[in-house]
Amino acid sequence: MGYSPIVTIRILAVEDDSHIARLLERELGRLGYVLRRADTAAAAVQELRRETPHLLLLDLGLPDRDGSDLLRDLRAAGDTLPVICLTARDRPVERVGGLRAGADDYLVKPFDVAELDARIQAVLRRADRAVPQEVVVGGLRLAADEARLFGIDGLVALTPRELHVLRRLLKNAGRVVTKAQLTETLAALNEDIGDKTIEVYVHRIRHKIQGNGVEIVTVRGFGYLLRAIA
Ligand code: CA
């Protein structure tokens, strides 16, 4: 399934263990994902009808139905939604069942959230090969989905427009990006661009990325250059 790299990644977590579900909600939320929860296979089907997520986290031991049966039905219907199965450590047969049913990956509980994040990114990347790798400059890291920027202290809150401008600078780190190029980036968002628009965004971005070992240098008459501070 393809997805636009600028949107937030929506995940549906199907998990009946409320402790794990809450942990997923909290930790994945902290990483910038938007999580919805379903605690039964039936609730999952309803959620999937309501809105298609970018990825499904599927516990295989659900109260009303086996998760792998639900997955088999989805695949039989031609649904290519990326799926990561969550399986219990003491039930290796579940893992095999999940993969046979069409899971893209699986994770054994209890799992490490950093590992889950890496697997989510890998599965999404495989699902859409146009999605580039993450970009790291100084203490800043643009996730492979291009929707989330991390600094030394975690997720950096940016507006979509700030993200557009900063993405362009990050992906061209060490090179001058002209004002015309940045203007073009914002025009793609139907932004009304006045004389000072780019200056205003760069000013805001500088403020937000402070303390992450990165600077945006003004190159008079040309544009801006982002680089790691030596
Ligand atoms: Ca369960």
Separation of 53 CA from ligand 1 center, angstroms? 21
Residue 5: what pLDDT? 41
Kindly give the confidence (pLDDT) of every residue in the chain, 230 residues in length, as a single tens digit, with 9 standing for 90 and above: 333 344 578 899 999 999 999 999 999 999 989 999 999 999 999 998 888 888 999 999 999 999 999 999 988 877 888 999 998 866 777 777 788 889 999 999 889 999 999 999 999 888 765 445 688 999 999 987 788 899 999 999 999 889 999 999 998 888 889 888 898 888 877 767 777 889 999 999 999 999 999 999 998 888 999 999 97
Residue 130: what pLDDT? 45
Separation of 60 CA from ligand 1 center, angstroms? 6
Identical fold between 10-128 and 135-228:
no
What whole-number distance in Å separates Cα of residue 24 and Cα of residue 13? 8
Residue 132: what pLDDT? 53
Separation of 61 CA from ligand 1 center, angstroms? 4
Residue 213: what pLDDT? 95
Is the pTM of the predicted complex or chain greater than 0.75? no
Nearest to 227 by CA among 154, 163, 177: 177
Separation of 27 CA from ligand 1 center, angstroms? 19
Domain boundaries, the chain: 10-128, 135-228
Separation of 30 CA from ligand 1 center, angstroms? 23
Residue 127: what pLDDT? 79
Assigned fold of 135-228:
Arc Repressor Mutant, subunit A (1.10.10)
Phi, psi values for residue 222, rounded to 5°: -120, -60
What whole-number distance in Å separates Cα of residue 88 and Cα of residue 66? 13
Give the CB-side neighbour count of residue 149, counting CA atoms within 13 A.
25
Separation of 73 CA from ligand 1 center, angstroms? 19
Separation of 24 CA from ligand 1 center, angstroms? 14
Separation of 41 CA from ligand 1 center, angstroms? 11
Separation of 18 CA from ligand 1 center, angstroms? 9
Greatest C-alpha distance within the chain: 65
Place of tokens 């937030």: 8
Residue 3: what pLDDT? 36
Separation of 105 CA from ligand 1 center, angstroms? 17
Separation of 8 CA from ligand 1 center, angstroms? 27
Q: Is residue 167 within 8 Å of residue 140, measured between CB atoms?
A: no
Separation of 185 CA from ligand 1 center, angstroms? 45
Separation of 81 CA from ligand 1 center, angstroms? 21
Separation of 15 CA from ligand 1 center, angstroms? 6
Residue 82: what pLDDT? 93
Q: Which CATH class is domain 10-128?
A: alpha beta
Residue 7: what pLDDT? 55
What whole-number distance in Å separates Cα of residue 196 and Cα of residue 217? 17
Separation of 10 CA from ligand 1 center, angstroms? 21
Q: Is residue 21 within 8 Å of residue 12, measured between CB atoms?
A: no
